[in-house]
Chain A
Amino acid sequence: MQAEGHLTSADLFRQYASFVAAFLVRMGIQRADLDDVMQEVFLVAHRLGGYTPGPAKPTTYLANIALRAATSHRRKGQVRSFVRANDELVGSAGSEVNDPERVADNKQRLELLDRCLERLDDDKRAVFVMAEIQGESVVSIAAGLGIPVDTAYSRLRAARKLFQEAAAELRAHGESEPPARWRRAET
């Protein structure tokens, strides 16, 4: 008999596939590999027996598995140019917007976002993505990742600093053309 609130891997897939996909993209998995990695994540969730309510939320429980999957793929060198990979995804996002300049700005911002995220190691990156982009609480992140809360906070603190430094550096050194709004703001 399953505990109340238990979710099978199929339940998890239906409810949280989008969350996991977004997390994996921000962790550097490109579109071409996304479904394979998604399958790995949910297969592992299945073998773990699905989700049973506890300190971790379903999102952070899945993120813990997804972090390991993403790390494995990065180590295998399966992550190629992650900025290029996002073009395809950005294209689908941009189709929702009619303003071409806004689409271009959004695309550039996502490229810069991903470059900044690449400066973080996987552990910090995971905490940062979950906290700053996906809006998870640090307590839930810590529970999901199986780390002490203060460690999660320490990682978030360090990640914020590194991210901000990376953004400032990329902007200052012109490694990538800033979005049009930045250029307008500077003139």
Chain B
Amino acid sequence: MPVITLSKNRFSTFIGRSITVEEMAKWLPWAGFDIEDVEPDYVKVEFNPNRIDFSSTAGVARAFSGLREWKTGLAKYEVEKGKVVLNVDSSVSEVRPYVLAAIIRNMRWDDESVRELMEMQEDLHWGVGRDRRKVSIGVHNMDVVQPPFSYVTSAPNAVRFVPLDKVEEMSLQEILKKHEKGIGYSHLVDWAPKYPLIIDSQKRVLSFPPIINGELTKVDSQTQNLFIEITGTDYNAIARSLNVLVTALSDMGGTVESVRVNYSDRTVVSPDLLPQRMKLRIDYANELLGLKLSESKVIQSLRKSRLDAKKISKGVLQVSIPAYRIDIMHEIDLVEEVAVGYGYFRLKPTKPATITTGKQHGASEKANHVRQIMIGLGFIEAMNFILTNEVAHFEKMRQKVSREMVKLANPVSTENSIARVELLPSLMKNLADNKHESYPQQLFEVSDVIRISEKTETASERRLHMAGVCSHPVANFTEIKSIVEALLADLNVKRWKVKAARNPSFLEGRVATIHVKDRKVGILGEVHPEVITNFELENPVSAFEIDLEEV
């Protein structure tokens, strides 16, 4: 989850009163924050990824002031009509079709605010922009360039500029090949014949979206006027991200000015900070929350969540949603706003009236019977992972790896590359891990394996298996045979028989398969000495495994 550090002093400025870190830490969780750390001069919090507007201190302060009833209702944002134009060349539709822009004038800020702006940009890139694919943002010092601006495309080697924090000019191609950001994000453009660029009237490069800005328009705490461009593959996503950014900068003291964005077929005045409207039925909210709030109480709660609401018909409110609340997509989201504004701490738990009787799943019932029997036979239960790898699962057991099994496409660790098809290899591993413990050792497991199965929807099926191992100096076939016979008798399995068999994991002449109603359901025998050695064990091991789906 994303994190923001709220300095006590900055936070106090935004809420317009002085506050202690204790008070911050007490109230922030009621707005949905997780407290990570409380220090004398700051509070570090995690916020939920849907609330990208919390990526600035301004954004957190808005919600906090509402919750404390210091400032309630919709925060209003004015956009001054500007004259600056951004022309969009139609060629961008081939690579990165959408752009919007805004101007922020008269910023008076410090290094801290600049750093926060950068972090906000990163949070937007990640949370909404899907790591810059959908949305990427460029913030520029407007005073060093000359509008009108253009969003164009350029051949990979036609333009050179100095990328941010560098001193030498590079071509677009060089940036993709050599620059650290270029290498990291090249996949977003390198497939296109021409790459996107934002330039000014003198053809100076502001940015190479979504890769990197130019050094020319670098922003620092001395910068007064900002030009913000935002490009991407999803028009709504860039419009919303721009709103989150612009409203935060407005709260930081800047004046928002619009930009005329000229597409070949239309002109957009950007940004659009008009509140969104949505209906909320009071009954709907009350029924889901288990409350009986009056219309005015619902309105008051919504205002504490920094929304506005007015009645439009009996039991129905028209809710105004500020431009930065890009997470609200359904009436249900307003219900939660009512709950947060009302205060989760005021929601008293109640017991539902629903009467039902419970029942355990058949597989659990069967597994529990097996547990009871095996404990009675003196076996300790082991629990192992379904995930394993081919060496542990097949090679050490002297089995061929050629069998069909579930294979993972992208495991982080090579330890986990397949799903087990049997339980016995895990039990052998358990014996190997417990050599220092006293013998005899008798272990069992009752759990799932996963088999490939053409018939099912998921092309595989989980099957409940059970397996057991006995290890001590005189472990042998007879012993495990007695165990299996006792087990099958207690499971009330009828008409089973045992046939001599061959299996590379077991000693020849001391291994048999178990059959129920002529279906092979399992195996038992003395484990092959080579297998024992593969697991670096010394005591003989007798073992069995049964597919419980078949008995």
Q: Do A and B bind each other?
A: no
Binding site for B on A (CB under 8 A): none
